[in-house]
Amino acid sequence: MNEFGSLLFLPSIAAILSLVIQNPAVTRKFCALAAWIQLVIVLSMLSQILTGHVPNLPFVSGLAVDRLGACFIVLTTFVVASCLTHADYFFQAAANRGDEYSANRVKVFYASTNIFLMAMTTVFCCDSLGYLWIAIEATTLSSAPLVYFERNKYALEATWKYLIVCSVGIAFALLGTVFIFAASQRGDIQAATLNVSELIAGSKALNFPLLRLGFIFCLLGYGTKAGIFPLHTWLPDAHSEAPAPASAMLSGSLLNCALFGIWKVSTVILAANPTAPAFQLVSVLGTITVLAASLLIIRQHNLKRLWAYSSIENVGLMVFAIGLGSGPLFFLQAVNHSLAKVALFLLAGNIIQATGTKKLNKLHGLMENAPSWAAALALASLAVAGAPPFGAFVAEMSLLTLSLTDHRYILALTITIALAISFLGILSHTGKVIFGAGKPNFKHFAEKRAVAIPVLLILCSLVIGLAVDTATWMPGYDHKHISQTQRKVAEVSCR
């Protein structure tokens, strides 16, 4: 319990302190610093797992970090740290613009952000599906105040929808967990358990129909939380009404937790029966989500909703990666999406603060007003749309190559078309924002500092795009000719 405790120790202290400290400037600086220190702690603690020497690091009976979980923890902490650093600029710019946020609102923001970070870290440490469910529900509850930060009518409506739809969705995930637990009890393994490692070990002995039913309900529950197509309705509202740093965190890290839930459950059903038809549902759902989101992107009128829908599209891609049974590919897509999407939401926040409007048809001429922002926005939207030099291109190409080796031709074709549509949708919207005559009432405030974090994130995505060779970096991933079942078993065992 001690390592796990030390993992969460610093954010809890930060949460308490941010409630206690009166002067908001101090809390802002302190929380940002705490987040970066937390990143260092996490890196040092999980260095064995990250470098692959130790398969996984068990804490208490239900909590154990495996390789994928460790990578996600590092990514989430990095995302939260960069968002908090930018939040410092965000609040100063708000003050400079005139409508200063009241002190206790900022305190609630920082407290719930730190709790949010704790909840997300626990999600990735969970081995037991029960604890996983609790942690994900905790992330929902802790992110509700973040969405409700603006305290206006729209934020209220967004929060209410977010809370109700997600809670009901996750309730079904609980039903799924119950069924999986019942499957382990009915199966002839010695002790009924919820721990994924034990479930995988005794997977052949589980009562398969119950397990399949449980998997479907978990897919439905965590899918609502992730934003799969028919269940995505809460996501655009929540992300467009939350303040920029909050919506960056929501998009950048919260979606990964829900998808991690789906991944955990799918490893169980993969171990039980790799060619289960129920498992095909996952990749089909992923493709439908990518296609629907790319069609929705074309007709967007609000800058932040545009980026929310592009998050839904990337969630679809990640679900498709899970449907192919490749964990490393799922993480590669998650990293690229988080980096690019956080940069985009932070830039969107800057633009909305400077121009005062979210409407796409009122935003134009950013190149005239703030050339550095325009360049960053252009590069970031290219990164998220999957243009080559950036990491998303590598992820999408490996995804499509893998889907072809799995003989899923129709799905691969649909995704290629959907990616083309969303690329054009995103670039035409960004083009309209960047080019055109400048806006007269553009409030400039520390232009260079505002774009520091986004540029850092774009550079990381560029490094992934150019320097990372998928074959060496991810041992489980090998796009040479391996038959579908043999590769899945290989990957699951390397977990």
Partner 1 sequence: MTLDTFEALSVLSAILGILILGTTLLRTNLSFYRMHTLAIAAVTAWIAHITKEDHLYVVALGVFLIKVIFIPNFLNWVMKKVDVGSDKQAFIAAPLSMHLGALMLGLSFLLSKQIPGLVGGHDSHLGSTAAMSILFTGVLLMLTRRAALSQIVGFLVIENGIYLFAVTQTHGMPMLVEMGLLLEVLVGVMISGLLLFNIKKSFEHIDVSQLTELKD
Partner 2 sequence: MAGKVKIFPFVSFMIPYIEAITPSSLFITACVIWSSGAVLTVVSDLTKLRLEDRWMTGLSIAGSLATIIGSIKSYTQTQAFGFSGFPNFGLAPLTCLTDSLSVPFTLLLGLVSLAAALATPSFTHTLATKSQHNHFFRLTFLMLSGILMVLLSANAIAFLVFWEVMSVAAASLITTDHIRHRAQRAAISYMTASRIATALFTAAFLWMQHLSGSFDFSAWHFNDPRALPAAIMLFLGAATKAGLWPMHVYLPQSYAEAPGPAAAILSGVVGKTAIYLLLRLLIQGNCESLPVIYLALALGTVSCVWGVLFALVERDLKRLLAFSSVENMGLIVVALALTMLARHHGLDMVMAIAVTGVLFHAFNHGLFKSLLMLGAASVERATHTRELSQLGGLAKRMPWTMLGFFVGAMSICAMPATNGFASKWLIYQAFFRLACDEAPLFDRAIALAMVGVLAFVGALALACYAKAIGIAFLGRPRSRQAQMPPESGIDNLAAAQILLSCLCILLGTSAGISLSALSPALNLLTQCSNDTGSFFPLAIGQLSLIGVFLTSAIYLIILGPKTKDIRTYITWDCGYGPLSARAEETGSSFSHPIGRIFSQILQLNVETEIQGKDRRHFPEAIRVETKMSPFIETKAYRRFLDVVNWLSLTLTRLQTGSIHVHLLYLFLTMIVLVLLGTTL
Q: Which of residues 289-328 bind partner 2 (CB under 8 A)?
A: 292, 295-296, 298-299
435 binds, among partner 1, partner 2, none (CB under 5 to 8 A by kind): partner 2
For residue 371, the SS3 value is: helix
Instruction: Please state, in angstroms and rounded to a whole number, the distance separating the CA atoms of residues 429 and 425.
Output: 6
Least Å distance between CB 195 and partner 2? 24
Number of residues this chain uses to bind partner 1 (CB under 8 A)? 50
Least Å distance between CB 224 and partner 2? 6
Q: Which stretch binds partner 1 (CB under 8 A): 12-20, 32-40, 233-241, 250-258?
A: 233-241
- The DSSP 8-state label assigned to residue 407 in this structure reads T
Looking at 73, 344, 382, 450, which residue binds partner 2 (CB under 8 A)? 382
Per CB under 8 A, which of residues 53..112 are in contact with partner 2?
A: none
Looking at 237, 313, 396, 491, which residue binds partner 1 (CB under 8 A)? 237
Instruction: Please state, in angstroms and rounded to a whole number, the distance separating the CA atoms of residues 123 and 82.
Output: 20
Looking at 41, 43, 95, 175, which residue binds partner 1 (CB under 8 A)? 175
Q: Which stretch binds partner 1 (CB under 8 A): 66-74, 129-137, 269-277, 325-333?
A: 129-137
Looking at 52, 55, 209, 356, which residue binds partner 2 (CB under 8 A)? 209
Cα separation values, 358 from 16, 307, 350, 433, 458, Å: 34, 12, 11, 11, 23
Per CB under 8 A, which of residues 457..486 are in contact with partner 2?
A: 465-470, 479-481
Looking at 148, 234, 320, 331, which residue binds partner 2 (CB under 8 A)? 234
Least Å distance between CB 66 and partner 2? 24
Looking at 13, 37, 164, 459, which residue binds partner 2 (CB under 8 A)? 164
Per CB under 8 A, which of residues 288..307 are in contact with partner 1?
A: 296, 299-301, 305
DSSP per-residue string spanning 466-483: HH--HHHH-TT---SS--
Instruction: Please state, in angstroms and rounded to a whole number, the distance separating the CA atoms of residues 4 and 237.
Output: 34
Looking at 75, 80, 119, 213, which residue binds partner 1 (CB under 8 A)? 213
Site string for partner 2, 425-454 (x = CB under 8 A): --xx--xx--xxx-----------------
Within 10 angstroms of residue 107's Cβ, the number of other Cβ atoms is 17
Q: Which stretch binds partner 2 (CB under 8 A): 34-42, 139-147, 383-391, 484-492?
A: 383-391
Instruction: Please state, in angstroms and rounded to a whole number, the distance separating the CA atoms of residues 294 and 288.
Output: 10
215, 265 contact by CB (below 8 A): yes
Least Å distance between CB 159 and partner 1? 6
Least Å distance between CB 254 and partner 1? 16
Helix (H) / strand (E) element for 56: namely strand 56-58
Instruction: Please state, in angstroms and rounded to a whole number, the distance separating the CA atoms of residues 415 and 97.
Output: 43
177, 218 contact by CB (below 8 A): yes
Least Å distance between CB 172 and partner 2? 6
Site string for partner 1, 131-150 (x = CB under 8 A): x-xx--xx--x--x---x--
> Any contact of residue 182 with partner 2 (CB under 8 A)?
no
173, 133 contact by CB (below 8 A): yes
For residue 302, the SS3 value is: strand
194 binds, among partner 1, partner 2, none (CB under 5 to 8 A by kind): partner 1
Least Å distance between CB 235 and partner 2? 10
Residue 404 buriedness (CB in 10 A; 0-12 / 13-18 / 19+): middle
Looking at 11, 24, 62, 365, which residue binds partner 1 (CB under 8 A)? 62
Least Å distance between CB 373 and partner 1? 26
The half-sphere exposure of 473 on its side-chain side, counting CA atoms within 13 A, is: 16
Residue 247 buriedness (CB in 10 A; 0-12 / 13-18 / 19+): buried
131 binds, among partner 2, partner 1, none (CB under 5 to 8 A by kind): partner 1
Take residue 246 and report the two structure tokens written for it: 């909050």
185 binds, among partner 1, partner 2, none (CB under 5 to 8 A by kind): partner 1
Helix 452-467 and helix 67-97, axial crossing angle in degrees, nearest 10: 150
Instruction: Please state, in angstroms and rounded to a whole number, the distance separating the CA atoms of residues 495 and 20.
Output: 42
Instruction: Decide whether 185 or 470 has the Cβ nearer to partner 2.
Output: 470
Take residue 460 and report the two structure tokens written for it: 């990381």
> Any contact of residue 360 with partner 1 (CB under 8 A)?
no
The radius of gyration of the chain from alpha carbons, rounded to an integer in Å, stands at: 22
Per CB under 8 A, which of residues 261..290 are in contact with partner 2?
A: 277-278, 280-281
Chain centroid to CA 455: 19
Residue 152 buriedness (CB in 10 A; 0-12 / 13-18 / 19+): exposed
Take residue 203 and report the two structure tokens written for it: 């997977």
SS (H, E, C) 59-76: CCCCEEEEHHHHHHHHHH
> Any contact of residue 17 with partner 1 (CB under 8 A)?
no
Residues making contact with partner 1 (CB under 8 A):
62, 128, 130-131, 133-134, 137-138, 141, 144, 148, 151-154, 156-161, 163-164, 167-168, 171, 174-175, 177-178, 181-183, 185-186, 192, 194, 207, 209-210, 213, 236-237, 240-241, 296, 299-301, 305
